[in-house]
Amino acid sequence: MRAFSNLLDSLIYTRSRNAKLKLIADYLTATPDPDRGWAIAALTGTLDIPAVKPGVIRALIESRVDPVLFRMSRDYVGDTAETVALLWPAPALPDDPAPLSLDQAVARLLGLSRSDAPAALAAMLDRLTAEERFALLKMATGALRIGVSARLAKTAFAQAFGVDVEVVEELWHGLTPPYTALFAWAEGRAEAPDTANLPLFRAFMLAQPLEDLRVELDDYAAEWKWDGIRVQLVRAGGATRLYSRAGDDITASFPEVASAFVEDGVLDGELMVRGAAQGIDLGHEGAASFNALQQRLGRKTVSAKMLAEAPAFVRLYDILFDGAEDLRGQPWTARRLRLEAFAARLPPSHFDVSALIDAPDFTALEAMRAGARDAAIEGVMLKRRDSLYVTGRRAGLWYKWKRDPFTADCVMMYAQRGSGRRSSFYSDYTFGCWTTAGDLLPVGKAYSGITDEELKFLDKFVRDHTSARFGPVREVEKSLVLEIAFDSIHLSKRHKSGVAMRFPRIARIRTDKPATEADTIDALKRLVT
Q: What is the pLDDT of residues 472-505, one digit of tens each?
A: 889 999 999 999 999 888 888 888 999 988 889 9
For 41-95, how does the pLDDT look when each residue is reduced to its tens digit (9 = 90+)? 999 988 989 889 889 999 999 999 999 999 888 877 878 899 999 999 977 665 6
Q: Residue 189 — left, alpha, or beta (φ > 0 → left; ψ -120 to 50 → alpha)?
A: alpha
Which of 186, 182, 146, 136 lies closest to 12, judged by CA? Answer: 146
Domain boundary at 141, 165, 187, which?
141
Domain contains 445: yes
93 vs 90, 127, 134, CA distance in Å?
A: 8, 8, 19
Host domain of residue 498: 406-525
Same domain, 422 and 437: yes
Mean pLDDT to the nearest integer, 445-469: 93
Reduced to 3 states (helix: H, G, I; strand: E, B; else coil), residue 168 is helix
The CA distance from 349 to 346, in Å, is 9
Same domain, 385 and 457: no
Same domain, 269 and 410: no
Catalytic site residues?
225
Mean pLDDT to the nearest integer, 407-415: 95
Same domain, 411 and 389: no
Same domain, 250 and 323: yes
Domain contains 190: no
Domain boundary at 402, 427, 462, which?
402
Same domain, 390 and 447: no
For 327-358, how does the pLDDT look when each residue is reduced to its tens digit (9 = 90+)? 999 999 999 999 999 999 999 999 999 999 99
The CA distance from 407 to 263, in Å, is 44
267 close to 319: Cβ distance less than 8 angstroms: yes
What is the percent of the chain with per-residue pLDDT over 70, rounded to a whole number?
95
Count how many residues are written for the chain.
529
Same domain, 296 and 312: yes
Domain contains 483: yes
User: Any idea what the CATH number is for the domain that residue 502 is in?
Assistant: 2.40.50.140
Look at residue 216 in the predicted model and tell me its pLDDT.
93
Look at residue 529 in the predicted model and tell me its pLDDT.
66
Look at residue 285 in the predicted model and tell me its pLDDT.
62
Domain contains 100: yes
> Band of the pLDDT at 276, cuts 50, 70, 90?
low
The CA distance from 502 to 291, in Å, is 8
Domain contains 477: yes
Task: Determine which of 241-245, 368-372, 482-486 has the lowest per-residue pLDDT on average.
Answer: 368-372
Q: Quick count: other Cβ atoms within 10 Å of Cβ 319?
A: 28
- The total of structural domains in the chain comes to 3
User: Any idea what the CATH number is for the domain that residue 44 is in?
Assistant: 1.10.3260.10
Question: Is pLDDT at 278 greater than 50 in this prediction?
Answer: no
Mean pLDDT to the nearest integer, 92-105: 77
Look at residue 97 in the predicted model and tell me its pLDDT.
65
**pTM of the complete model:** 0.75
Same domain, 512 and 484: yes
Look at residue 277 in the predicted model and tell me its pLDDT.
47
Question: Is pLDDT at 279 greater than 50 in this prediction?
Answer: no
Same domain, 509 and 415: yes
